Chains A and B, each alone.
Chain A
Amino acid sequence: MFSFIVRRTVGIVPMLVIVSILSFLFVHLTPGDPIRILYGNEIDASTYEMLKEKEGFNDPLYEQYVRYVSNIVLDGDFGTSYRTKANVSDEILRRFNYTLILTFASMLWAVVIGLFVGIISAVKRNSWLDRLGMVSAITALSIPEFWFGLMLMQIFAVQLGWFPTSGSGSIGHLILPSLTLGLGVAAIIARFTRSSILEVLREDYVRTARAKGQKEWTIVLTHVLRSALIPVVTMTGLQFGFLLGGAVVVEQVFSWPGLGSYLVDSILTRDYPVIQALILLFSVQFLVVNLIVDISYGLLNPQIRYE
């Protein structure tokens, strides 16, 4: 088991390197001169050269890359924002929790709704309930998150006044954004749970249980669910990446002060160091989540370890 974990962890190192190189090159590929942007346009040529030397832009590219990576790894330093001239890491730290809370709350909705719909659809398969559940699921996958968010806001915040329209600070602020973000994942979980249960229902031991005369509900809940849920757990973990991407849009809709809205604002103001840091962070998060899912899958299913 230990060697499996080590193998998987080492496996993502090349990915991390590639992602970090890409994000390092980001500021070099984008238009605009970092020195002029940071220190203003009116500095004269000699000061310009001096600052360029001081900031290390004259060094060979690989040295700059090594410095960039070591700054991040050792000091957690992501550089300075063009717009606010403040340290990017501080702002990221401040906003990170918001995105984390939003993501977890959405996952909660997704799991609860998804399992509920999926199990009912599987037990009552080919009934109108099943059809309703699956049609809702594919519809949910076709609904743009931002529109669903705007509609929820319109109904529950503007018309009914049950929740605040936007912002953050209380549980009430969290409900609509997390529901919005969780919808797509709930649909995926519902479809996946249904097919996973139907798969297990074909097993011999289910036939035995049926022969004993057990009720369909009892069979599903006590015999089937345990093994049917393993792939669902894995798949659910993989959806975290989906949520991170969706968070960018949903945060913008509800003015949620997380990393996603920070990213969009930075793109619109061309604040490249921030964009660079966030894209790196999002990809690393995504890689790490996938690694955790991979390892947990290995724990649940020993066959995987020796593939």
Chain B
Amino acid sequence: MQTNERKSPSPFRTFLGKFRKQRVALISLGAVMAIIVVGLLAPWLAPFDPHRPVTDQYQAKGIEVNQITSVSVPLVLWMSDGSKKSGGEGTNLTLHSEDRQIAAARKTGDGVLVNASGDGSTSILIATGELASRFKVIVSSQDDGQVYVSRLFAKTPQYSLKLGESAQVEVAAVLTDGNEVTGLADILAFTEKNKAVEVSKPVANDGFSNSSSSTQGGAGQMSGLVFQSSDSSIVEVTPEGMIQAVGEGIGTVRMSVAGVSTVIPIAVNQPLAAPIPVSVEPGELQIELINAYKHQPPSSLHWFGTDHQNRDIFSRVLLGTRETMLIGFVSVAIGAVIGTILGLVAGYYGRWIDGWITRFTDVLLAFPGILLAIAVIALLGPGVTNIIFAVAVFTIPIFIRLVRGSAMALKEMTYVEAAKSIGVRDSVIIMRHIFPGTMSVVMVYLTMRIGTAILIGASLSFLGLGGDITAPEWGAMLSAAKDNSRNLFHPTFFPGLAIVITVLSFNLLGDGLRDALDPKMKE
């Protein structure tokens, strides 16, 4: 080893030298190593148990579900003189959720706390005294596109009228999408259009959940814009919003549409008293929440989000590495061993053995790749072991062909002839003189085939042929995501990305090995 003698560099050294020069191949070698390490360490690396819903595991980790699922919305009370007050001071605040199975709200210090419990979107009505406003809640990005009236307000917040005088109330509405609608006619047009949407929307989740508040909800559906005078001896109001002072004193007119209402104080023949609250404004028109029980989007807690059974996708992808690697390595190893042996035998002995083996290879190659694997599964039945076997069967013919070719060339070498002439047994010649020569081809294709094997294996389990569809295996995860999370991006994206990165690493590594070993093999 330590000699300073000059001799021709060993083929392994030249190979290493050439391989080192290929940056892409080196990077992919690193990636392959990293993937293997991750696969082996997955049970210790995974932040959550991949088989159970994460919500069951929060307690053990000291995480409160509420931290994830709630958002606090501040409230502002508009006074008739144009000043604002914090909404927490509003007395007897009542909150009503249109659909409590999606989200519910409760009162806190200076606002409301909204808590998500199911997917979808709904609205929450805040009422205090005569005033009512609402905001929209979207859970898990399941926006139904519905726009609600969030708040009504009068353009002139208060009126001082002389007896007998009349005025037209200018009314405007803020919608949950941030737009403002001004004027009676436009508001009416909007609510009409909205009603049509509401009617066409299938009525779901109605029934046992909230009978007490259904009257309020029913009132909310009252058609059109309604004006109501608190004291008709002071102020009279027409359905078109024309107010007329008919008696002395201070009265109010209440306007309401679709459950949302505001109040306008009207002083007749006397100055206005202390300002009164005229409108309640939620700090947000529309809030987005996460449903902690299903399909959480990616967050710092769950890097890849959670799936339809609320299992941590990141943990599942990590654990799936092991299963996927197992399918890739074991099947290719089986296929390569059988294929190499048959290829050596066919190439070395030639004649009728070669004829039969070649014919067998042709039959196997007559089926397009994945169909052969599917045929094997069809014969053996679904299951991971059978997937491994199926992928192995599909790997065999390629190795037979490759190894047979090089074995036939090596057989003609002088050293083989020499070994034969001194009576070395055939098995020894094959193992010691021919097999090492085929190693380089075998190694290159071994690497390239692992990528393909992983792809085929994942395809088979995607088709549901892997047996256990709840297993944390990338193909099976995608299959489940396709059936259960069709409208969501993250459950399908991450497991697939893992497959792409893994297969790409193996393919690039294979390309690099091939170029370093024998540039002639390049197509």
Contact = CB atoms under 8 A, between A and B. Distances in A.
A142 B370 contact: no
A142 B451 CA distance: 8
Interface string A140-175: 011111110011011000110000010000000000
A147 B492 contact: yes
A64 interface: no
A249 B459 contact: yes
Interface stretch (A40-48, A117-125, A260-268): A260-268
A115 B522 CA distance: 20
Q: Which of B368, B375, B486, B495 has the largest number of chain A CB atoms within 10 A?
A: B368
A263 B463 CA distance: 11
Interface in A3-52: 14-15, 18-19, 22, 26, 29-31
Interface string B473-497: 0010010011000110100110110
A22 B359 CA distance: 14
Contact of B367 (A29, A264, A270, A283): A283
Contacts of B482: 146, 150, 253
B375 to A, nearest CB: 5
A97 B378 CA distance: 24
A141 B499 CA distance: 12
A158 B508 CA distance: 33
B496 A267 contact: no
B507 interface: yes
A244 B371 CA distance: 8
A106 to B, nearest CB: 14
A19 B523 contact: no
A249 B463 contact: yes
Contact of A248 (B359, B363, B371, B503): B371
A68 interface: no
Given A151-B493, A286-B368, A275 B378 contact: yes
Contacts of A138: 504, 507-508, 511
Contacts of A244: 368, 371
A287 B366 contact: yes
B465 interface: yes
B496 A150 contact: yes
Contacts of B381: 31, 270
Grouping DSSP codes into helix (H, G, I), strand (E, B) and loop, the B interface class, with mixed when no group exceeds half, is helix
Nearest to B498: A147
Given A144-B459, A144-B462, A151-B496, A245 B378 contact: no
Interface string A245-283: 110110011000000000110011010100100010011
Interface residues of A, number: 49
B463 A15 contact: no
A53 B391 CA distance: 39
B363 A241 contact: no
Contact of A165 (B367, B463, B486): B486
A49 B519 CA distance: 65
Contacts of A146: 458-459, 462, 475, 478, 482
Contacts of B478: 144, 146-147, 150
Q: Which of B370, B377, B464, B503 has the largest number of chain A CB atoms within 10 A?
A: B370
Contacts of A143: 496, 499-500, 503
Given A15-B363, A138-B504, A279 B371 contact: yes
B496 A144 contact: yes
Contacts of B382: 267-268
B477 to A, nearest CB: 11
Contacts, number: 127
Q: Which of A14, A15, A144, A287 has the largest number of chain B CB atoms within 10 A?
A: A144
A116 interface: no
A153 B366 CA distance: 32
Grouping DSSP codes into helix (H, G, I), strand (E, B) and loop, the A interface class, with mixed when no group exceeds half, is helix
A249 B370 contact: yes
Contact of B366 (A145, A151, A272, A286): A286
A70 interface: no
Contacts of B371: 244-245, 248, 279, 282-283, 286
A131 B119 CA distance: 45
A80 interface: no
A142 B504 contact: yes
A51 to B, nearest CB: 25
Contacts of B289: none
Contacts of B493: 151, 154
Contacts of A214: none
Contacts of A282: 367-368, 371
A18 B487 CA distance: 46
A240 B377 CA distance: 22
Interface in B403-460: 451, 455, 458-459
Interface residues of B, number: 43
Contacts of A26: 378-379
Contact of B378 (A15, A142, A191, A279): A279
Nearest to B458: A144
B462 A279 contact: no
Interface string B362-388: 110011111100110111011000000
Contact of A195 (B367, B458, B486, B523): B523
Contact of A264 (B458, B464, B495): B464
A65 interface: no
Given A15-B366, A18-B363, A142 B486 contact: no
A245 to B, nearest CB: 4
Contact of B463 (A252, A270, A272): A252
Contacts of A191: 523
A29 B379 contact: yes
A139 interface: yes
Contacts of A98: none
Contacts of A144: 455, 458-459, 462, 475, 478, 496, 499-500, 503
A158 B464 contact: no
A267 B367 contact: no
Nearest to A285: B368
A139 B366 CA distance: 27
Nearest to A165: B486
Nearest to B460: A249
A246 B370 contact: yes
B375 A279 contact: yes
Contacts of A145: 459
A245 B370 contact: yes
Contacts of B465: 264, 267-268
Interface in A59-85: none
Nearest to B463: A264
A52 B374 CA distance: 30
A143 B496 CA distance: 8
Interface string B295-318: 000000000000000000000000
A11 B368 CA distance: 19
Given A29-B379, A245-B369, A267-B374, 4 more contacts: A144-B459, A146-B482, A192-B523, A263-B374
27 contacts: A26-B378, A138-B504, A138-B511, A142-B455, A142-B503, A142-B507, A143-B499, A144-B455, A144-B500, A146-B462, A147-B495, A147-B496, A150-B478, A150-B481, A158-B486, A158-B487, A159-B489, A192-B523, A241-B368, A244-B368, A248-B370, A252-B462, A263-B374, A272-B378, A275-B378, A279-B378, A286-B366
